[in-house]
Amino acid sequence: MSSNFSFLENKDQYKNFSGACMEAEQSISINPAVAALLSRRALELAVKWVYSSDSYLKVPYQDNLSSLIHDRTFKDIITPELFPLIKYVVKLGNIAAHTGSSISREEAVLSLHNLHQFVSWIDYCYSEEYTAAEFREELLPAGQEKHVSSKELETLNDELGLKDKKLKDLVDENEKLRNKLRVVREQNEKTRAFHVDTISEFSTRKKYIDIDLKDAGWFFAEDCLEEFKLTGMPYGSGTGFADYVLLGKNGKPLAVVEAKKTSKDPNEGKQQAKLYADCLEEMFEQRPIIFYTNGFETFLWDDSFYPPRRVSGFYSQDELQLLVDRRTSRIPLDHIHIDDTITDRYYQKEAIKAVCESFTNGDRKALLVMATGSGKTRTVASLVDILTRHEWVKNILFLADRTALVRQAKNAFNNNLPDLSLCNLLDGKDNPESRMVFSTYPTMMNMIDDTKSEDGKKLFTVGHFDLIIIDESHRSIYKKYQAIFDYFDSLLVGLTATPKDDIDKNTYAIFDLENNVPTYAYDLKDAVADGYLVPYNTVETELKFLEKGISYEELTEEEKEQYEETFADEEDLPDFISSEQLNTWLFNDDTIDKVLYTLMDKGIKVEGGDKLGKTIIFAKNHRHAVRIVERFDILFPHYKGEFARVIDNHINYAQDLIDKFSEKDKMPQIAVSVDMLDTGIDIPEVVNLVFFKKVKSKSKFWQMIGRGTRLCPDLFGTGIDKDHFLIFDFCGNFEFFRVNAQGKEVKHITSLTEKIFNIKVDLVKELQNIDYQEEQYISFRDELIKELVAEIKQLNRDNFQVKQHLRFVDRYSVIEAWNNLGIIDVSEIKEHISPLIIPDSEDEMAKRFDYLVFTIELAYLLGKPANRAKDNVVKTAYALSSLSTIPQVLDKKEIIQKVQTDDFWLEADLFEFEMVREALRDLIRFIEGDKRKIYYTNFADEILYIAENPGEYSTQNLQSYRKKVNTYLRENQDHISVYKLKNNVQLSKTDFASLEQILWNEIGTREEYEREFGNTPLTILVRQVVGLDHKAANDAFSEFINDENLDSKQIRFVKTIVDYLVINGHMLDKSVLQEDPFQSIGSITELFPMERAREIVSVIDSINKNAMEFVGA
231 in the same domain as 215 = yes
15 in the same domain as 130 = yes
Q: Hey, what long-range contacts does 978-981 have (CB within 8 A, 24 or more apart)?
A: 978/1022, 978/1026, 981/1019, 981/1022, 981/1023, 981/1026, 981/1065, 981/1106, 981/1107
Q: Is residue 223 part of a domain?
A: yes
Last residue of a domain, one of 806, 821, 841: 841
Mean per-residue pLDDT, 366-392: 94
Q: Is residue 662 part of a domain?
A: no
CA distances from 17 to 114, 898, 954 (A): 15, 54, 70
1072 in the same domain as 1004 = no
pLDDT at 957: 41
pLDDT surpassing 70 at residue 175: yes
Q: What is the pTM of this model?
A: 0.64
911 in the same domain as 1053 = no
Range of the structural domain that residue 992 is part of? 960-1026
pLDDT tens digit sequence for 314-357:
999 999 999 999 999 999 999 899 999 999 999 999 999 999 99
Q: Which range among 650-654, 765-769, 883-887, 980-984 shows the weakest confidence by mean pLDDT?
A: 650-654
914 in the same domain as 801 = no
pLDDT tens digit sequence for 343-354:
999 999 999 999
Highest mean pLDDT among 132-141, 197-206, 463-472, 990-999: 463-472
Higher pLDDT, 1049 or 228: 228
Highest mean pLDDT among 495-509, 964-978, 1087-1101: 1087-1101
* Cβ contacts of 222 within 8 Å, gap of 6 or more: 102
96 in the same domain as 245 = no
Q: How many structural domains comprise the chain?
A: 8
> What does the buried/exposed string (b/e) look like for 509-519 if buried means 16 or more CB atoms within 10 Å of the residue's CB?
ebbebeeeebb
pLDDT at 930: 56
Residues 123, 194 contacting (CB under 8 angstroms): no
Mean per-residue pLDDT, 34-51: 92
756 in the same domain as 718 = no
CA distance 94 to 888: 48
pLDDT surpassing 70 at residue 397: yes
- In 3D space, the residue among 75, 5, 17, 80 whose CA is nearest the CA of residue 790 turns out to be 80
pLDDT tens digit sequence for 401-423:
888 889 889 999 999 999 999 99
Residues 38, 112 contacting (CB under 8 angstroms): no
Mean per-residue pLDDT, 509-537: 86
Sign of CA dihedral 546, 549, 554, 556: positive
pLDDT surpassing 50 at residue 45: yes
Higher pLDDT, 23 or 698: 23
pLDDT surpassing 90 at residue 166: no
pLDDT at 62: 67
CA distance 22 to 17: 9
955 confidence band (pLDDT: 50, 70, 90):
very low
Q: Is residue 1013 part of a domain?
A: yes
863 in the same domain as 778 = no
Q: Is residue 671 part of a domain?
A: no
Average pLDDT of the chain?
87
Mean per-residue pLDDT, 379-388: 97
439 confidence band (pLDDT: 50, 70, 90):
very high
Peptide bond into 668 cis (omega under 30): yes
Mean per-residue pLDDT, 439-446: 90
pLDDT tens digit sequence for 183-225:
999 998 888 888 877 554 445 555 678 888 888 889 888 999 9
14 in the same domain as 121 = yes
Tell me the helices (H) and strands (E) count for the chain, helix number first.
Answer: 50, 26
pLDDT at 956: 44
Which CATH number fits the domain that encloses residue 237?
Answer: 3.90.1570.30
CA distance 546 to 941: 9
- In 3D space, the residue among 1048, 1007, 1003, 1035 whose CA is nearest the CA of residue 1022 turns out to be 1003
pLDDT surpassing 80 at residue 865: yes
Q: Is residue 1 part of a domain?
A: no
pLDDT at 613: 96
494 in the same domain as 424 = yes
Mean per-residue pLDDT, 57-63: 77
pLDDT surpassing 90 at residue 153: no
717 in the same domain as 593 = yes
DSSP helix/strand/coil, 469:
strand
pLDDT tens digit sequence for 544-589:
999 889 998 888 999 999 998 888 877 778 888 988 999 999 999 9
Q: Which amino acid is at 554?
A: E
CA distance 611 to 665: 11
CA distance 539 to 528: 19
518 confidence band (pLDDT: 50, 70, 90):
confident
pLDDT surpassing 90 at residue 1070: no
pLDDT tens digit sequence for 958-1005:
345 666 777 778 778 888 888 899 999 999 888 888 888 888 887 778
pLDDT at 970: 79
Last residue of a domain, one of 493, 508, 530: 530
Q: Is residue 432 part of a domain?
A: yes
Q: Is residue 658 part of a domain?
A: no
Q: Is residue 707 part of a domain?
A: yes
1034 in the same domain as 997 = no
pLDDT tens digit sequence for 747-782:
557 889 999 999 999 999 999 999 899 999 999 999
* Cβ contacts of 171 within 8 Å, gap of 6 or more: 51, 52, 59, 178
Mean per-residue pLDDT, 614-624: 96
CA distance 661 to 668: 5
Within 603-740, where are the H helices?
Answer: 622-635, 654-662, 698-705, 733-739
Last residue of a domain, one of 199, 234, 256: 199
Mean per-residue pLDDT, 282-291: 95
